[in-house]
Structure 1
Amino acid sequence: MRNTIIITILLFVAIVGASLYYFANLEGEKKETLRPLTFLPKATFLVATFQNDATTDNIFKDFEIFEAMVGRQEFEQWQTLKTKLLRHSTIQPYVNGVDQYVSFHPEKEAIATLFTIPTSMRIDAEEIGSFLEKATSTYTVTQKDTLENRIYSLDKGVKDSIFHIVYYEDIFFASFSQSLLYQVMDKRVPKLGKDEIDYFIDNNSRNSPLSIYFVHEQIPRIAEHLMRRNAGNFIKLFDHLGGQSAWNLSFKNDALILSGESETAHRKENYIELFGNQHKTSQTLYNYFPQNTASYLSFAISDSDSFRKDLLALLKQRGELSQLQAQFAEIKKTKDVSFEEDIPPIFGHEFALVEQSNQTELAFISVADSTKLDAFISSIATRVSDSLYRFDHSNILYALYGDPLKSFTRPYFLRVGNILVLANYQSLLTEYQRDWRRVNLLTNTLGFKNSERIQGNEANITCFVRTSASSSIISNLLKASHRESFRDKNNFGYQDFYSWSIQIAGNNGNFQSSIYGVYKSKNALGATADWIYEFNNRPITAPQVFEHSDTSQFILIQEQDHSVHAINPSGSKLWSSVFHGRIVGEAQQLNDRSIVLVTDRSRLYRFDPEGNSLPGFSLGIDSEPTYTPTISNIGGEQLIFIPAGRKLLVYTVDGEKAESWNDKNLAGKILFDIKVYNNQIFVGTENGHFYQFDAQGNLLKEEIIADRQFKNPIAMVRLEQNRHAIYAVDTAQISFTMDFAEEPKTYKLEQGGNRSLISYFPNTDGTAYRMAILDQKHLLTKNIQDSSALFDFTFTQEITDRPQYFADGSNGYLLGIASRKNYLVYLFDDKGSLRDGFPIEALPDFYYGKIDYNSATYLLCVRRDRKLYAFKH
């Protein structure tokens, strides 16, 4: 298939932007002009124009993508020329308020750039020579008369970096290619046509900082110029398409986004024309593509009848319809199956072609009617194994969908839900089955998730290229000079793109089109760490931030050998110490800044921020703790309440057993932490026993929910008239609100199941006001009081870790979710929106917030290399 060659065109498109930063820094009002475009050679791959104002300059000054595409060395060269020429006071009055153009042209094994800058007033030739001599003192300036014009050459003594300028017809034309300037001035060289130029100007948005014009006839020429092999199937879809596209830039500092209109020549023999009378519709097949997808070509049909009619007309135009009809007549005769009446209703409106990183191909087709498929499957296919079939007749898919599936003549296939997965080799489907069962899917990769945030899923045609999985394929397709640039990570940044994609949608006979290049920006969250802290073993707790002094804070984290590390906000070690056992739950800080925690070796620790144990600590406790201790002032004394299986242990902050409490033996294992509210203590157990104690440890009331099981934490909630109650949800998703005065109030949650993870958004007073329900892959947040849904989200993998909560600075909390199976972490605000930059690659248990009193917000997370990363956000 070689879909991935489209990357070469997309990469080429992106180069346009680099010139913008260096040649667009002129102020003045934009003035329409067509005349400069009439001098551009017919062999123009792309044309770009941009607005000449300070706003544009500010937008693009930190746009890393441009430097990545054009190369850092040439980028610096352009910067020098911009500073010395276009910013020079002598030339500035002549170029203020004019449109500027950048175009790209084929030249031997390279692509030459041409800068076209008209002047508002004519400049005398002698004045130009004098200006260049003054403005470019570090260059050697030479002159050459040719075609009755004078070409100035600026030479800095660096090979292949001589910049040539000609002032022709009141326009500056400049390029590193002298031969390109000759083509501009030579009237015998074919130039861009008037219709092409008019289309560009008509679709040039004044609200966009950059507009690009592209003639479709250049597609095979671009492919031929860049590739050392024949074009793949995607490029061939555009053969003889005709027409042109005009795109405008939507600014995003970590993505190149071009969108606009495309006009075609309406040639009946072209496959793409079938979608001109369609309109964009949802595309969902990508949810089934394997993780090693290098590229895919996905199609969606909005009007099946119209598409079917146009496809038959295309097949007739090609002289293929009669042969196919004869074949299907034979099927009707032998199997009493009508191709026109029985088969099309079975199949859906989506189909796709996937190229994997090993260059093998899969196809995907949606099923419209599974009942009809079950009825006719034995008539059109033969079972070859338990779940695999093979079509009995050739060209069925070609007759249904056309060119993209022509190579799947008589494929094998299997069913996944309402999807057919097809391959020309049975072994490929066996491999896909294994990937599907293990959820090794494209949608689980970080690169695709970054692309999905920017690229929508509504179109008629989407071509997607994933850089990490396709780079070797792309490299092998490119000619030597272009391959060298693609591989050069020091001077270029092609490998720093997550993906490239094109989306096309029908628009009343023409098309809307968009191009997306999603970049791994060094400024993006998770790209560049402020510091990295290395461990000897795997960290096993979430990083926590505590006060160190009046002026500083510190980070506490434990690794697998039970060493506890205290880390300065700058990333340096303050101290480390081996504790006896693994920290259970979270550490707590008291008002005197001492830290209290428990370990699974039945130890209670209390130490100061310097790591020094307080007198009497650490100490052994009677039972193994099962969750985070709760520390509270109650009955005039500060006590530590430790859940320990079926026991409630109570200690003073001096390490003594609380005399009035003794050890409380309960009827079941304690559910997570202990709740303290209004001088009362509340405990819940797995088997439905809920306790209310007073400040001296006396049992006030026991509420028993018989024949019920609980596995999620309890919460304190506020009721009307300033009352409070315990809130708990059992494994049957029945909630119980218990105030220990009246009968518990129950409510069926309806969402979730017995495996659901439930947690609660905390208030500053210790009560909860909303809940998060994680049911396998589905997240739902609800208000506790009225059970109304707030927002939901579906992950691509089952979530097995409880949510984390982080203060957002406005008395609210952010919700952190870790997807352990694909090493991604998410952060949602209270409206359900993902925080910018998320998800990112990290292991479960992370921290988000300030790491020092006056610091910026940071993400602290551990990755698979067992290091702690500090990312400023």
Structure 2
Amino acid sequence: MRNTIIITVLLFVAIIGASIYYFANLDGDKKETLRPLTFLPKETFLITTFQNNATTDNIFKDFEIFGALVGRQEFEQWQTLKAKLLRHAAMQPYVNDVDLYVSFHPEKDAITSLFTIPTSARIDTSAIRSFLDNAASTYTITQKDTLEHRIYSLDKGVKDSVFHIVYHEDIFFASFSERILYQVIDKQSPKLGRDQIDYFIDNNSRNSPLSIYFVHEQISQIAEHLMRRKTGDFIELFKNLGGQSAWNLSFKNDALILSGESETAHRKEHYIELFANQHKTSQTLYNYFPQSTASYLSFAISDPDRFRNDLFSWLEQQKELPRLQAQFAEIKRSKDVSFEEDIRPIFGKEFALVEQSNQAQLAFISVADSNQLDAFLSSIATHISDSLYRFDHSNIPFALYGDPLKSFQRPYFLRIANILVLANYESLLSEYQRDWRRVNLLTNTLGFKNSERIQGNEANITCFIRTSTSSSIINNLLKPDFRESFRDKKDFGYQDFYSWSIQIAGNNGHFQSSIYGVYKSKNALGSVADWTYEFDHRPITAPQVFEHSDTSQFILMQEQDHTVHAISPAGSKLWSTVFHGRVVGEAQQLEDRSIVLVTDRNRLYRFDPDGNSLPGFSLGMDNEPTYSPTIGDVGGKPLIFIPAGQKLLVFTLDGKKPESWNHKNLEGKILFDVKVHNDQIFVGTENGHFYQFDAQGNLLKEEIIADSHFNNPIALIRPEQNQYAVYAIDTANVSFTIDFRDELKTYRLEPDGHRSLISFFPNTEDIAHRMVIINQKHVLTKGIQDSSALFDFTFTQEITDRPQYFAEGPNNYLLGIASRRNYLVYLFDEKGSIRDGFPIEALPDFYYGKIDYNSATYLLCVRRDRKLYAFKH
């Protein structure tokens, strides 16, 4: 199939966008003009134009994608020429307030650029040499008279960097290729057609900093110019399409996004025309593609009846219809199965082709009616093994959807949910089945998540290429010079693109089209760290940020050998020491800046920000702690409450046991932390015993919920004014409101499930108002009092870690969730929107917020290399 060949066209489009960077720095308003384009050669691959104003300057100044695509050395050369020529005081009055064009043309083993700069007033040709001598004094300037024109050449003594300029019909044409200038001034040389130019101008957005125009007839020429092999299936789909496209740039510093309109020649024999009268619709098959996907070509149909009729006409044009009709008539006679009435209704509105990194091909088809599939499956296919089948008759996929599935003559297929996975070899489906069961899917990769966030999933046709898994295929397809640029990581940045994609949607006989190049920008979260801190062993706690002094803070973490590290906001070590045991839960900081934590070796620590233990610490405890200590003011005195299995341990800040408190033996293991509010202490256990103690440790009330089991934290809520209650949810997802006065109030939550992880958004008053329910792959946030759903999100992998919360203003918290199986972390705001830049690759347990009093916001996270990364956001 070689879908990846489209990368050659995409790379070319990207290079053109990059080329205008250093020539986009002129002031003035854009005014429309057609005349400069009429001089461009017919073999023009692409044309760009841009607005000459300060806004454009600012947009492109930090658009690092352009540097990655055009080459950093080339940028430097163009910057020099721009500063010396276009910025020169003598030239400014003539080039301000004009449209500038950059077009691209084939050269031997290269693509060369042509700069077209109309002047607002005629320049005396005798003054041009004087201007060049003055503006480009560091260059050797020569001139050549040809075709009644004078071509000036600027040579700085660097090989292949001579810049040629001609002034023709009040327009400057400039290029590193002298041959292109000859084509421009030669009246006998074929030029762009007027209809093509008109379309470009009509679809050129004045609100876009950059517009690109592309003639579809150039697809074959571009592919032939860049590739050393025969074109693949995707290029074949677009060959002889006719027409043109006009795209406008949408600015995003970590993606090249071009969107606009496309028209075709309306040739009925062309497959793409089947989608001209469709309209964009959701595409979902990508959720089933394997992790080894290098590229895919996905189709979605919005109007099945119109598509069927158009496909019927297309098959007639291809002279395929009589053969298919004869074949299906035979099926009707032999099996009494009608293709139109029995087979076609089985299949749905989506189909796709996938090329894997080893160039093996799969096809995917959605099922519209699973009951009808069950009824007719044995009539159209033979059961091979397990859920694997093979069509009894050839050409069924081709008759259903046309050309893209023609190579799947009589394929094997695997049924998964409501889709069929097709392959020409049984072994490919066995391998896919293993990937599916292990959830080794494309949607679980970080690069695809970034691409999906930018490109969306609504279109009729999507072609998608993953750079990492398709690079070897691309290398084999490109000619040597273009392959060298693709591989060059020093001067270019092609390897830093996650993906390239094209999306096409029907639009009343025409098309809307978009191109996306998603880039690993150095400015994007997770790309370049401000600093890293390397551990000797695997870190085992989340980063926590504490006060160090009146002017600074620090980061506290522990690694696997139990060494605790204090790290400065600049990433340097302040101190480290080995603790006896692993830190359980989170550390707590007191008003005097001392820090309290417990370890699983029955130790209670209290130390100052410099790592010095306070008198009496560390001290041993009778039982192993099972969660973080809670520091609460009770009866006017601060106490440390430590859950320790079936015991509640209580200490003063001096490490003593308070006189009025004894360690409490409880019925059942304590559920997570202890709640302290208004001189009362609330504890819940896993077997349904809930306790209320007073400030002196006296048991005020015990509530027992029989025949229920609990494995999630409790919360304090305020069901009525000045009244407080414990809120708990059992493993059957039944909630209990326990006020220790009145009868229990119960409510069944959704979704049901014994595996739900439930936690509560924190609050400055420690009164919960919202909760988070994690049920396998599904995350739901709800209000507690009214049980209203606030937002929900479905992940591609099961979530096994409890969420984290990060303060963002008073009573406003961000929700952090880790997807452990694919090493991704997410950050949601309170409305359920994913914070820009997320997800990123990291292990569970991270930190998001300030790392010093006046610092920017940072993400602190650990990756598989055992380093702590500090990313500014």
TM-score range, shorter chain: over 0.9
Where does residue 811 of structure 1 map in the other structure?
Answer: 811
Distance in 2, matches of 1:787 and 1:268, equals: 56
Query: Matches of residues 202-241 of structure 1 in structure 2 within 5 Å?
Result: 202-241=202-241
Query: Gapped runs of 5+ residues in structure 2?
Result: none
Give the counterpart letter for 1:333 in structure 2: R
Partner residue, 2:684: 684
With normalisation by structure 2, the TM-score equals 0.99
Partner of 2:440: 440
Match for residue 411 of structure 2? Answer: 411
Find the counterpart in structure 2 of residue 260 from structure 1: 260
Aligned AA for 2:306? S
What secondary structure, in the 3-state scheme, does the structure 1 residue paired with 2:314 have?
A: helix
Other structure's SS at 1:556 match: strand
Distance of 1:325 and 1:184 partners within structure 2: 54
Count residues with an aligned counterpart. 873
Which one-letter code corresponds to 2:285 in the other structure? L
**Structure 2 residue 290 is matched with structure 1 residue 290:** yes
Range that drifts further, 800-809 or 731-740: 731-740
* Alignment correspondent of 2:78: 78
1:753 Cα offset (Å):
1.7
CA deviations on 1:3-47 (whole Å, 9 max, x unpaired) are 001011011101122233211211112111100000000000000
C-alpha displacement at 1:305, in angstroms?
1.3
1:772 matched to which residue of 2?
772
SS in 2 for 1:27: coil
The answer to whether the 8 A contact 1:47-1:102 is kept is: yes
Q: Distance in 2 between matches of 1:207 and 1:115?
A: 22
Q: Secondary structure at the match of 2:740?
A: coil
Q: Which residue of 2 aligns with 1:165?
A: 165
Correspondences of 1:604-643 after superposition (within 5 Å): 604-643=604-643
Matched residues in 2 for 1:24 and 1:800: separation? 50
Give the Å deviation of 1:809.
2.3
1:302 counterpart letter in structure 2:
S
SS of the counterpart of 2:721? Answer: helix
- Secondary structure in structure 2 of the residue aligned to 1:195: helix
Return 484-493 or 782-791, whichever deviates more. 782-791
Q: Which amino acid aligns with 1:231?
A: T
Question: Is 1:426 the equivalent of 2:455?
Answer: no
Quick one: which amino acid aligns to residue 426 of structure 2?
Q
- For 1:44, the aligned partner's letter is T
Provide, for residues 617-668 of structure 1, a one-character-per-residue CA deviation record: whole Å limited to 9, x for no partner.
Answer: 1111000000000011211221110000000000111111122211100000
1:77-476 to structure 2, matched below 5 A, reads: 77-476=77-476
Letter in 2 for 1:669: K
Letter in 1 for 2:550: D
CA distance in 2, matches of 1:267, 1:750: 54
**Counterpart amino acid of residue 626 in structure 2:** T
1:194-248: per-residue Cα shift (whole Å, max 9, x none)?
Answer: 0000000111111111111100000011000000001100000011110000111
- Distance between the aligned counterparts of 1:389 and 1:842, measured in 2? 40
- Give deviations 1:249-294, integer Å, cap 9, x for gaps: 1111111111111100011111000101111111000000001100
Counterpart AA for 2:110? A
- Give the Cα–Cα distance (whole angstroms) in 1 for the partners of residues 713 and 559 of structure 2: 26
Q: Corresponding residue for 1:575? A: 575
Checking the alignment, whether the CA contact within 8 Å between 1:734 and 1:749 is kept in structure 2 is yes
Q: Distance in 2 between matches of 1:29 and 1:339?
A: 61
Mean CA deviation greater in 734-743 or 621-630: 734-743
* Structure 1 range deviating more: 808-817 or 415-424: 808-817
Question: Once the 2 structures are TM-superposed, how far is the Cα of residue 708 of structure 1 from its aligned partner?
Answer: 0.6
Distance 1:740 1:138 in 2: 89
Q: How does 1:550-569 map to 2 (within 5 A)?
A: 550-569=550-569
Report Cα offsets for 1:809-867 as digits up to 9, x if no partner: 24310000000000000001111111110000000000000001111000000001111
* 1:721 maps to amino acid: Q
Equivalent residue, structure 2, for 1:724 = 724
Aligned mates of 2:601, 2:296 — CA distance in 1: 53
> Counterpart in 1 of 2:596?
596
Displacement of 1:334 = 1.1
How far is the alpha carbon of 1:72 from its aligned partner?
A: 0.5
CA deviations 1:50-89 (Å, max 9, x no partner) are 1111111111110011111100000111111111111111
Find the counterpart in structure 2 of residue 867 from structure 1: 867
Distance, in Å, in 1 between the alignment partners of 2:2 and 2:49 is: 32
Which amino acid counterpart does residue 820 of structure 1 have in structure 2? Answer: R
Which residue of 2 is the match for residue 858 of structure 1? 858
> Using the alignment, how far apart are the partners of 1:861 and 1:185 within structure 2?
60
Hey, what's the Cα distance between the residues in 2 that align with 1:722 and 1:529? 48
Supply the distance in 1 between the matched residues of 2:844 and 2:817 (Cα, whole angstroms): 8
CA distance in structure 1 between the partners assigned to 2:456 and 2:534 by the alignment:
39
Aligned match of 2:507: 507
1:517 aligns with 517
CA distance in 1, matches of 2:855, 2:531: 14
The aligned amino acid for 1:552 is S
Q: Equivalent residue for 1:66?
A: 66
CA distance in 2, matches of 1:119, 1:88: 14
Alignment TM-score, normalising by the size of structure 1? 0.99
Dislocated runs of 4+, deviation >6 Å: none
Deviation string 1:657-693 (CA, Å, 9 cap, x unpaired) is 1222111000000000000000000000001100000
> Match for 1:244: what amino acid?
Q
TM-superposition CA deviations, 1:504-526 (whole Å, max 9, x none): 01111111111111111000000
CA distance in 1, matches of 2:804, 2:301: 42
Conserved in 2, the CA contact under 8 Å of 1:413 and 1:423?
Answer: yes
Q: Aligned partners of 1:175 and 1:69: how far apart in 2? A: 19
Closer/same/farther in 2, CA of residues 810 and 103 from structure 1, 3 Å limit? farther
Instruction: Provide the C-alpha distance between the structure 2 equivalents of 1:334 and 1:744, rounded to a whole number of angstroms.
Output: 69
Further displaced range: 81-90 or 804-813: 804-813
Deviations 1:555-606 (CA, angstroms, capped at 9, x unpaired): 0000000000000100000111111110000001111111110000111111
Q: How much identity, in percent, do the aligned residues show?
A: 82
Q: Does residue 7 of structure 2 align to residue 2 of structure 1?
A: no
Distance 2:28 2:826 in 1: 45
Contact 1:752 1:774 in 2 (8 A): no
Q: Which moved more, 1:279-288 or 1:139-148?
A: 139-148
Provide Cα deviations, 1:310-338, integer angstroms capped at 9, x if missing partner.
11111111211111111111111111111
Match of 1:671 in 2: 671
- Counterpart of 2:537 in structure 1: which amino acid? N
Match of 1:650 in 2: 650
The Cα of 1:750 is off from its aligned counterpart by: 2.3
Counterparts of 1:319 and 1:650, CA distance in 2 = 87
Question: Deviation at 1:752?
Answer: 4.1
The aligned amino acid for 1:508 is N
Where do residues 671-750 of structure 1 align in structure 2 (5 Å cutoff)?
671-750=671-750
The 3-state SS of whatever aligns with 1:90 is: coil
Measure the CA separation in 1 of the matches of 2:716 and 2:248: 54
Kept in 2: contact 1:752–1:773 (CA 8 A): no
User: Which whole-Å deviations, capped at 9, do the CAs of 1:702-759 have from their partners, x for residues lacking one?
Assistant: 0111111111000011232221111111111111111111112111112242110000
After superposition, what is the alpha-carbon deviation per residue over 1:396-428, rounded to whole angstroms, capped at 9, x for unaligned?
111110011011111100111000001111111
Long gaps (5+) in structure 1: none
Secondary structure of 1:475 counterpart = helix
| Alignment-mate amino acid for residue 630 of structure 1 | T
- Residues 810, 115 of structure 1: CA spacing in aligned structure 2 closer, same or farther, 3 A cutoff? farther
CA shift for structure 1 position 384 = 1.1
- Mapped partners of 1:835, 1:686: distance in 2: 35
Cα separation, 1, equivalents of 2:386 and 2:18: 55
